[in-house]
Structure 1
Amino acid sequence: MTELRILQEITQYQNDFFNTFARIFTFIGNEEFYFLMIPFVYWTLSRRIGFSLFYVFLLSAFVNSFIKITMAIPRPVGTEGIESIFVESAEVGSHYPNDAFPSGHAQGSSALWTYLALVVRHPLFTGFAVLLVLAISFSRLYTGLHWPSDVIAGLVIGVAIAISGYFIFLRIHKIPAIVFLIAAILIPAGMLWLLPETEGFQYGGILIGATLGFVFQLMWLPELTETSWLRKIIAFILGIVITFSLQSGLKIVFPDPLIFEALRYAILGIWITYFAPALFLFLRLNRQKQSIHFP
């Protein structure tokens, strides 16, 4: 059965009931969701896991954009016999509609949830992660926004990046801090050079900012102790409100050249990994230990 025929078979079952679930899974695979998920892990659970998740996900997003722009495969949108819905979720790329392969939703979700499953190592969480990734991936077929090969490739690449990132971050504590800092800045800088498009400047910029903020927090902010979940939720809500305010506000203030897009996202990155935790500490939404050390 051809990919066209597969999509025609799947999309014929679209209805209001199934569309509701497709909309939910589409959002869970969108950039906005990850701007909620990754800071939540970083601010409330673990800065180390949060930062490594940040890096794994954004490297995956960069690889996805690089392949999409290089391959330039058209999406099935507008193809006869295929009804595409929620098209706005696909129009975020700078090269839409020639950006089908691989699926960003499939790759992003498989990278993030595979990495978390490797960290958590609990059968129930792993099962949940697998089902969620499959649901997000299938939703891209149901909505008629990707070919089956796009989704399969996205799943494979995302899992491969997550596994590679997991084993790299297991050993990263053995690397001297200065070497880690240089490498962590050179990698995003290389992303700007390899992909001089909007996506490259966004992903490279936010990783540079996030890396600097992470190192600054380890060096200058006190080691934090556990605090109540009420304080954590208040801190998270405050942090997210400021994050989205910065994202939209700076877009209005900064001019159009892509270098300012990189600067905007770098500010977002350093806010998430350094200034937000510093603010939470100042407002006593986090507690601190007596000693300061580099974990």
Structure 2
Amino acid sequence: MGYQLDILMYLQSIRNELLTGVFTFFTVCTEVPVITVLTGIIYWCINKKAGQRTLFALCGSLNINAGVKNFVKMPRPIGTKGLESLRIETATGYSFPSGHTQTATTFWTSTMYLFRKSWIYIIGILMILGAGISRLYLGVHWPMDVIVAWGFGIVLSVLFIKLFDYIDDSKNYYILVGLMLIFGICTYFIGGEDLYKMFGLFTGFALGYMVEDTFINFSTESETRRKNIFAKKSSKNEGLGKKILRFIVGIISLLAVYLLLNYVQDNLIVNKAEEIINIIKYLKYTIVVFWGVAGAPALFKLFKLA
């Protein structure tokens, strides 16, 4: 770890309040609350198809990240003599590859690939680089963790989006079931709490997508726009109002489901074996993502918001 530790020690030597604030911001922007809000805005409000593809890429990429982490079991640099790691509460599990970096890379690569806007490219590249460097600056990952996470995030984003294109066009749900089986087998044999959580994310998305696509089929376009491409400008304002209401309904209902399941989980895992705890957490994340993908859209249809 010689040269890698040298890099971390150099970044530690240039720390100051401003840089620490900047790189903490980049780390925070890759964490669950921010990514949930951003994907919710895309999926519920801006472009349903782009949101589905982004979520599929994230769920698949994070499963692979957690699987590699728990298989390789690389220790973090935290605790290394002379190194002061910051924000260690965000550094859970093993080190290789970096989960924060791969999350940011997957999300922003997917967004850039799907929307192809110059301003999104600028923000995306900045966020991808910032997320990776922030994990080194904070001293919670080795440089190789970040480099590999960048590579995984870029390659897996494109692969999963192309795969989802085929699934969505052909309605071949057996591929989703097959992936669930593969990820489930890997989760069972590799193990680890974070891998069970990520498998729950993928299961929730796969089941939610199939249910939403078959029975709900909400749209991110306003009814007026779908029926009349020459609609007056006021209809766009009405559409924006519906989008804002969809986000409010979606995020509040998702938070309510998450808090309820947290309460249930806290009461179920008392004095339980590790395997049972992992299964409970898997089910929690499955239900949360299922709600975001299918439950919230069902509410949109019920309240005539989609």
TM-score interval, normalised by the smaller of the two chains: 0.7 to 0.9
Correspondences of 1:26-41 after superposition (within 5 Å): 26-41=27-42
Alpha-carbon spacing, 1:185–1:7, altered in 2? closer, same or farther (3 Å): closer
1:171 counterpart residue number = 166
Is the counterpart of residue 237 in structure 1 residue 248 in structure 2?
yes
Contact 1:184/1:208 (8 A) holds in 2: no
Correspondences of 1:1-295 after superposition (within 5 Å): 2-91=3-92, 93=93, 99-180=94-175, 182-183=177-178, 185-224=180-219, 225-226=221-222, 228-254=239-265, 255-256=268-269, 257=276, 258-286=278-306
**TM-score when scaled to structure 2?**
0.84
What is the DSSP-based 3-state SS (H/G/I as helix, E as strand, rest coil) of the residue aligned with 1:145? coil
Alpha-carbon spacing, 1:72–1:275, altered in 2? closer, same or farther (3 Å): same
Contact 2:173/2:210 (8 A) holds in 1: no
Contact 1:105/1:136 (8 A) holds in 2: yes
RMSD in angstroms over aligned alpha carbons?
A: 2.1
TM superposition shift of 1:236:
1.2
Question: Which deviates the most, 132-141 or 245-254?
Answer: 245-254
Which residue type is aligned with residue 149 of structure 1? M
Q: Distance in 2 between matches of 1:166 and 1:207?
A: 14
TM superposition shift of 1:180:
4.4
**TM-score when scaled to structure 1?**
0.87
| Structure 1: runs of 5+ lacking an equivalent | 94-98, 287-295
Q: Distance in 2 between matches of 1:178 and 1:170?
A: 12
Contact 2:70/2:195 (8 A) holds in 1: no
Q: Distance in 2 between matches of 1:153 and 1:115?
A: 17
| Structure 2: runs of 5+ lacking an equivalent | 223-237, 270-275
Contact 2:70/2:192 (8 A) holds in 1: no
Contact 2:63/2:202 (8 A) holds in 1: no
TM superposition shift of 1:37:
1.9
Larger RCO, structures 1/2 (Cα 8 Å, 6+ apart): 2
Once the two structures are aligned, what percentage of the paired residues are identical? 26
Q: Distance in 2 between matches of 1:32 and 1:170?
A: 27
Q: Distance in 2 between matches of 1:239 and 1:162?
A: 25
Which residue type is aligned with residue 260 of structure 2? G
What is the DSSP-based 3-state SS (H/G/I as helix, E as strand, rest coil) of the residue aligned with 1:80? coil
